[in-house]
């Protein structure tokens, strides 16, 4: 069985966009989330490990939420889930928040740190590094109807659409797999989180790439 770790934020966790104004977020069912679709598409020869967290950043400590720094938690997750054949990494949306004040290029630099941690680890088969599939996250959409959310992402729509070129260049430099999700999906009603249809498209697209990176009979 091949082990795949999906490391991401609320769109890996499965945050339902309709619950953005609720006291607590609602989560898409497992068979709706892109990770669940991925598992169904790959079949029993693969084990998909979900590791999504609402608000997770690449390398930043959020002053308004505890334990959201991906760089801090990633080593422990790699250690606890080893051996891994592949890590699917999709982060960067939360780095667009005004509180962090970073540019699209700097967001990609944060992703690079995580990617190098993965590719430099011994969490893969035979105590070597696992393979990496880098996903550029979806663009941020219209949030005019949600002023409190929009205030956190004042430049989100513009800057999120600059991310693909940086992520693609990073993937090329690292020699890892790459998918620009912005060519496939748009966010749901809150401008950030994916609806069920988008999860389905993303899960199937990732599955196709995983099959090319990890042939079932290899």
Say if strands 2-8 and 46-52 run parallel, antiparallel, or are unpaired: parallel
- pLDDT above 80 (res 215): yes
Question: How far is 72 from 84, CA to CA, in rounded Å?
Answer: 19
Regarding pTM above 0.85, the answer is yes
Cα–Cα distances in angstroms (integers) from residue 119 to residues 21, 88, 116, in the given order: 38, 12, 5
DSSP designation for 139: P
Alpha helices (H) in 48-89, listed in sequence order:
70-81
Asked whether the beta carbons of 35 and 6 are under 8 A apart, the reply is: yes
The label of the residue with tokens 């699917």 reads: 88
Band of pLDDT at residue 186, cut at 50, 70 and 90: very high
Band of pLDDT at residue 218, cut at 50, 70 and 90: low
72-111 per-position pLDDT tens digit:
999 999 999 999 999 999 999 999 999 999 999 999 999 9
- pLDDT above 70 (res 37): yes
Question: How far is 179 from 44, CA to CA, in rounded Å?
Answer: 24
Band of pLDDT at residue 217, cut at 50, 70 and 90: low
The label of the residue with tokens 């590094």 reads: 129
DSSP designation for 168: H
* Contact residues for 212 (Cβ-Cβ < 8 A; gap 6+): 177
Question: How far is 147 from 129, CA to CA, in rounded Å?
Answer: 43
Question: How far is 53 from 56, CA to CA, in rounded Å?
Answer: 6
Question: How far is 166 from 104, CA to CA, in rounded Å?
Answer: 8
Asked whether the beta carbons of 136 and 163 are under 8 A apart, the reply is: yes
Q: In which region does residue 175 sit, left (phi positive, over 0), alpha (psi from -120 to 50) or beta (all else)?
A: left
- In percent, the amount of the chain with pLDDT more than 70 equals 99
107-129 per-position pLDDT tens digit:
999 999 999 999 999 999 999 99
177-186 average pLDDT score:
98
120-177 per-position pLDDT tens digit:
999 999 999 999 999 999 999 998 788 998 899 999 999 999 999 999 999 999 999 9
Cα–Cα distances in angstroms (integers) from residue 128 to residues 2, 70, 86, 139, 218, in the given order: 15, 21, 11, 34, 17
Question: How far is 127 from 81, CA to CA, in rounded Å?
Answer: 12
């Amino acid at each position: 069985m091949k082990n795949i770790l999906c490391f991401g934020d609320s769109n890996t966790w499965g945050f339902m966009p309709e619950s953005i104004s609720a006291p607590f977020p609602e989560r898409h069912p497992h068979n709706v989330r892109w990770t669940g679709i991925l598992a169904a598409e790959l079949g029993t020869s693969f084990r998909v490990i979900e590791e999504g967290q609402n608000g997770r950043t690449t390398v930043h400590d959020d002053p308004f939420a505890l334990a959201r720094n991906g760089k801090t938690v990633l080593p422990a997750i790699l250690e606890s889930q080893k051996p891994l054949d592949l890590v699917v990494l999709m982060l960067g949306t939360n780095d667009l928040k005004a509180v962090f004040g970073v540019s699209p290029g700097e967001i990609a630099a944060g992703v690079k740190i995580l990617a190098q941690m993965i590719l430099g680890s011994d969490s893969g088969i035979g105590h070597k590094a696992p393979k990496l599939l880098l996903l550029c996250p979806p663009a941020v959409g219209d949030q005019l109807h949600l002023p409190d959310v929009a205030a956190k992402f004042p430049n989100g729509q513009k800057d999120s659409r600059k991310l693909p070129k940086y992520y693609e260049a990073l993937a090329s430099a690292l020699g890892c797999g790459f998918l620009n999700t912005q060519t496939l999906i748009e966010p749901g009603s809150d401008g950030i989180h994916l609806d069920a249809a988008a999860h389905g498209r993303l899960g199937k697209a990732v599955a196709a790439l995983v099959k090319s990176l990890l042939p079932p009979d290899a």
